[in-house]
Amino acid sequence: MMSRWIRFLLVMLLGAAAGLFYGWQLNPVQYVDTTPDLLGDDYKTDYVLMVAEAYSVEGDLEMAVRRLALLGDKNPAESVRAAVLFAEGIGYYDFDIGTMRTLAADLQLWNPGAEVSSP
């Protein structure tokens, strides 16, 4: 009886090892020119949160807009607004939602045609 369980476990381990070897060595997944616009809504929301966190540290709205442009939407404010709604729906932390809302509010005031004067 015990030898059946041992054989079963050995076969399972061998199968798992063979599958991992095949997937990692013989035929691994190759991503080519993958961009954030291919992500699902949950991962897009995470991406927007990361952009908002970077913006809160750097304060560079132009860089945040360039990062958000990778999502493929024409209006970066709309991308952030959609991410905030999704985040509220699935229960993100209030602090994270607030960080995204700050970015959304600043994007409402963003004027891409305005000249930035240097001191």
- Show the 3-state SS of the chain: CHHHHHHHHHHHHHHHHHHHHHHHHHCCCCCCCCCHHHCCHHHHHHHHHHHHHHHHHHCCHHHHHHHHHCCCCCCHHHHHHHHHHHHHHHCCCHHHHHHHHHHHHHHHHCCCCCCCCCC
pLDDT digits (tens, 9 = 90+) for 10-38: 999 999 999 999 999 999 988 777 788 88
Predicted TM-score of the model (pTM): 0.69
Q: What percent of the chain has a predicted confidence (pLDDT) above 90? A: 71
- Residue 118 pLDDT class (50, 70, 90 cuts): very low
- Residue 113 pLDDT class (50, 70, 90 cuts): low
Give the chain's largest Cα–Cα span.
Answer: 83
What is the amino acid identity at position 105? A
Token match 């009886």: residue? Answer: 1
Q: For the chain, what is the mean pLDDT?
A: 89
* pLDDT for 2 beyond 80: no
Sign of CA dihedral 107, 112, 115, 119: positive
Give the per-residue pLDDT at 56: 96
Average of pLDDT values for 48-75? 94
Min mean pLDDT across 6-10, 72-76, 79-83 is at 72-76
What is the amino acid identity at position 118? S
How many residues appear in the chain? Answer: 119
